[in-house]
Chain A
Amino acid sequence: DAMVIQNPRYQVTQFGKPVTLSCSQTLNHNVMYWYQQKSSQAPKLLFHYYDKDFNNEADTPDNFQSRRPNTSFCFLDIRSPGLGDAAMYLCATSRESAERGSTDTQYFGPGTRLTVL
């Protein structure tokens, strides 16, 4: 089945120790997104890729970086995790919106729950 896969499902890291979360998709979608969801809150967009074009949200901390080496894979790098970065990280994909007002559905992966000790 076509899907969005995230690994690992659970990640524990130490304060300040870099960590990388991965996302892959078999939907062949052009756009990939990373959302952060803290406990009991709504998901919040960190950044997204259209193909290899990276688009950062204005309020995303510099501590968060991303890489997309090809259509299928996207990585989230947290350079120096702090306690406040403990959250669920959700990857999503969608097809390109060809024109304003054309919006496709975003399909989400199962998420990676990050714990920072």
Chain B
Amino acid sequence: AQKVTQAQTEISVVEKEDVTLDCVYETRDTTYYLFWYKQPPSGELVFLIRRNSFDEQNEISGRYSWNFQKSTSSFNFTITASQVVDSAVYFCALSDYMEYGNKLVFGAGTILRVKS
């Protein structure tokens, strides 16, 4: 069965610090997808990134970067020079195939608090 572990329940940083959110996953599938979503206090889940299992290149988008390492089953997320607006709950998720569509198996989430 698919499983996602986000061991960090809560992280607090001061603005402009870099912060890394950890994600470790378990799957028996050879083809799978990993996602990160941001959930601000308003409640909406905001899509950040999708990565398939065959693409191990790291990705950078502005202050956000992702490190995918298949050898350790990890898909970590780093925010550089954090800002107060980055405060949110961040979920890592793993796709679980269904006949049509896909089920997302979420980790428990990491609460990020960025203080000014």
List chain A positions with a Cβ less than 8 A from chain B.
30-31, 33, 41-45, 48, 50, 53, 55, 88, 90, 92, 94, 96-97, 100-101, 103-111, 113
Find residues 58-91 in chain B having any chain A CB closer than 8 Å to their own CB.
91
3 closest A-B pairs (Cβ-Cβ)? A101-B31, A50-B100, A42-B106
In the bound complex, do residue A108 and residue B45 qualify as a contact, i.e. CB atoms below 8 Å apart? yes
> Given that A53-B100, A90-B45, A111-B44 are contacting pairs, would A105 and B106 also be in contact in the complex, using a CB cutoff of 8 Å?
no
What total of chain B residues lie within 8 Å of the partner, measured CB to CB?
Answer: 28
24 A-B pairs within 8 Å (CB atoms) are namely A42-B91, A44-B106, A45-B103, A45-B104, A48-B101, A48-B103, A50-B99, A50-B101, A55-B99, A90-B43, A92-B45, A94-B101, A96-B100, A97-B98, A97-B101, A97-B102, A100-B31, A101-B29, A101-B97, A103-B95, A103-B97, A108-B45, A109-B44, A110-B43
